[in-house]
Every structure is written in C-alpha cells, then in structure tokens.
Amino acid sequence: MEARHLRYALTLAEHAHFGRAAGALGIAQPPLSKQIADLEREVGARLFDRTRQGVFPTAAGAAFLARARRALDEITAASVDAARAARGETGRLRLGFIASALLEPLPDVLGRFGRERPEVRLELHEMATNRSTAALVAGELDVAIGLGRPRGVGAEQLVSVPIGHDHLVAVVSSTHPYAGQSSVDVDQLRRQALIVAPGEDEPAVITGLRTLLGKDSPALSGATVARDIHTIIGLAACGVGVGLGPSRMLTAPRRGTWFCEVTPRTPLPDLVLSFQARDRSPALNAFLDVIRTNCPDVGAALDHRLGPRGPQEEGHRDSTPT
C-alpha cells in the first residue's frame, strides 16, 4: 500500500464517481478502477459500493478513509518538517562558551539567531575552554567558544576560527591606590594580591601571566582564583586585590571599580569558535550563517576554510579542519 492509494480512495470518496475522480487525479478511469480494486484486495474488505447513483464508502471504507486522511496529513507534515530541518529552521544546537563571550560577540549573535531561527532549541552551557574542547571532541557540544585554539586529543578534527582579540587589563576597587591611574606596570602587579582565572580551566591565560610576571611569581602563586570575569570584577570591587582579565571586561563597567591598562601591553589568546569538521548539520550551518552576517571578518575566515555558502545551502560540503 502506497500513499497514492490513499489519495485515490479519498478522491473517489469526495467525487463519488470514478470518472470525475480520475479527472481530478489527472489519470484515466480504468487505472483508477484497478488501483481501488487492488486496494480492496489488500485490505481484505470492500471499501466502496458501486451504485447507479454513484460510488459511496461502505462501513469498512469509512473507517479506512478516516485513517487514510490522518495518514496523508502526517506524511505531508513529515515532508514539511523534514524540509524545515534541512534548512536549519528546527532542531537543536548545543553551544559551550566562556563567560567573557557573553560580553562580546555572543549577545548580538544569539539575539539574531533566536529571531531568525526561533524553533531551533538552543542549549547553552557556560564552561571553561578545556572543558568545552573536551565536550566538543566527545560529541557533547555542536560548537564551542573558548580562549585559544583547542589543544589535546581530537583537536586536530576541529575547525577553529578567531572571533575576537584581547589584551590584558587590570580592575581594582575605586578605593584602591591604583584607582585613577590609566595604567599599571608589571612591577606594580608583582607587589599586589591578584585575582586570576584558574590555571586548570584556562591554561593559555595562566601561561601568558607566568611569562609576564615570572614563572615563580609569589603574586601569581598566591592569587585568588575566580572562575569567570564577573567574579573577578566583583572580587576586585570588594577590595580583595587586583583583578586581571581580558580587555573585553571594559564593556561591563561596575560601580565602585576602576580599569587600568597593563604595561607592557600583553596580548591574550584569541577568542576562538570551534566545531567538528565533519559536522555540517543544518542547525550548525544556520548558526555559522549568523556569524558570517554579524562578524564579517569571521565570515571571511570561515569561507576560506569551508568555502562560501548561501543561507539556503544545506551544506554537505566536505571540510578540511584548520
């Protein structure tokens, strides 16, 4: 039994006449009569009474047609749902990100994605870079945003592009001696209690701080550890010490704090977007299209690695991890 048999039966019931039903279906009457007869043999019951007044469903036919109508509706809905999923209009996207990405560029990107793809279920997970890389490699995330290019087992299978550049800044309480200064230097930082990200979560950042302050710096070894930039800023506001973090923090001023540049200017690892090279799911492609639109430089880097795509392209192109 095929979907066309259901359509034939429903059309015949609607027109109550083989000739008119055949005309509506765009086929000749004899093939329609044969298809209905074949359908009745397969069902094992007479579905239509053939009378001089017309062709009418039997009791068995009425029961069959009620189910057939629902079945065809489901087939149509399945086709529509499949097409929408193929265009990235439905589905699921699992995104892991570090907290500082919520300052820039995630707000604009997520806002636009939500407006354009309201039926894609976003699963958002704030997590440190090393954790998001491991989750991405394990297939627990679809895309990750962290600091520096992913490293470790499986990282070679990821496509990674920088989406933001940062340098080191310091934040202190408005009552701190450094408040009001435009900058602080390395010698000043070595004499202060510091607030930094945990080394096990953001090893690239800690490596940079060790290079700047010295591998065995007492200030660094005795630093207060804070797991996100908001906690770094909050602890600095409480007078716990000098918070060190990305210049992206400047977009999140808080009353009672003061930001200083760090001299010499110290670049931090890039903010990097990564995803599995083999994963070209429609929902991921839709997310990358929003990235292309909101961040033209990032879009150019994606196009360089993956080739340019239009927003309607389903994206089954092979990728080379970079």
Instruction: Identify the pLDDT of residue 279.
Output: 78
The answer to whether residue 318 is domain-embedded is no
Q: Are the C-beta atoms of 271 and 163 separated by less than 8 Å?
A: yes
C-alpha span between 294 and 292 (Å, rounded): 6
Q: Are residues 197 and 72 in the same domain?
A: no
Instruction: Identify the pLDDT of residue 310.
Output: 45
The answer to whether residue 49 is domain-embedded is yes
Instruction: Identify the pLDDT of residue 295.
Output: 82
Other beta carbons within 10 angstroms of residue 159's beta carbon come to 21
Q: Are residues 181 and 215 in the same domain?
A: yes
Domain boundary pick from 87, 120, 139: 87
The answer to whether residue 321 is domain-embedded is no
The answer to whether residue 310 is domain-embedded is no
Q: Are residues 177 and 257 in the same domain?
A: yes
Domain with residue 286: its CATH number is: 3.40.190.10
Instruction: Identify the pLDDT of residue 307.
Output: 67
Q: Are residues 256 and 172 in the same domain?
A: yes
Domain boundary pick from 240, 268, 296: 268
pLDDT by residue, tens only, the chain of 322 residues: 888 899 999 999 999 999 999 999 999 999 999 999 999 999 999 999 999 899 999 999 999 999 999 998 888 877 776 776 667 766 889 999 998 888 888 999 999 999 998 989 999 999 988 899 999 999 999 999 998 888 888 888 899 999 988 899 999 999 999 999 999 999 999 999 999 988 777 777 888 888 889 888 888 889 999 988 889 999 999 999 999 998 988 988 889 999 999 999 989 889 999 999 887 788 998 899 898 888 878 877 887 777 655 444 443 334 344 4
Q: Are residues 200 and 257 in the same domain?
A: yes
The answer to whether residue 215 is domain-embedded is yes
Q: Are the C-beta atoms of 286 and 206 separated by less than 8 Å?
A: no
Instruction: Identify the pLDDT of residue 149.
Output: 87
Q: Are residues 174 and 158 in the same domain?
A: no
Other beta carbons within 10 angstroms of residue 291's beta carbon come to 21
Q: Are residues 75 and 30 in the same domain?
A: yes
The answer to whether residue 314 is domain-embedded is no
Q: By 3-state DSSP, what share of the chain in percent is helix, strand and coil, each rounded to 5? A: 45, 20, 30
Instruction: Identify the pLDDT of residue 81.
Output: 65
How many Å from the N-terminal Cα to the C-terminal Cα in the chain? Answer: 50
Q: Are residues 7 and 20 in the same domain?
A: yes
Instruction: Identify the pLDDT of residue 308.
Output: 59
Tell me the residue range of the domain where 155 lies.
Answer: 92-164+271-305
The answer to whether residue 26 is domain-embedded is yes
Q: Are residues 12 and 79 in the same domain?
A: yes
Domain with residue 58: its CATH number is: 1.10.10.10
- Give the max Cα distance, the chain: 105
Q: Are residues 175 and 249 in the same domain?
A: yes
* Number of structural domains in the chain: 3
The answer to whether residue 172 is domain-embedded is yes
Q: Are residues 140 and 275 in the same domain?
A: yes
Query: Would the pTM of this model clear 0.75, i.e. be above it?
Result: no
Q: Are the C-beta atoms of 6 and 70 separated by less than 8 Å?
A: no
Q: Are residues 170 and 262 in the same domain?
A: yes
Instruction: Identify the pLDDT of residue 84.
Output: 67
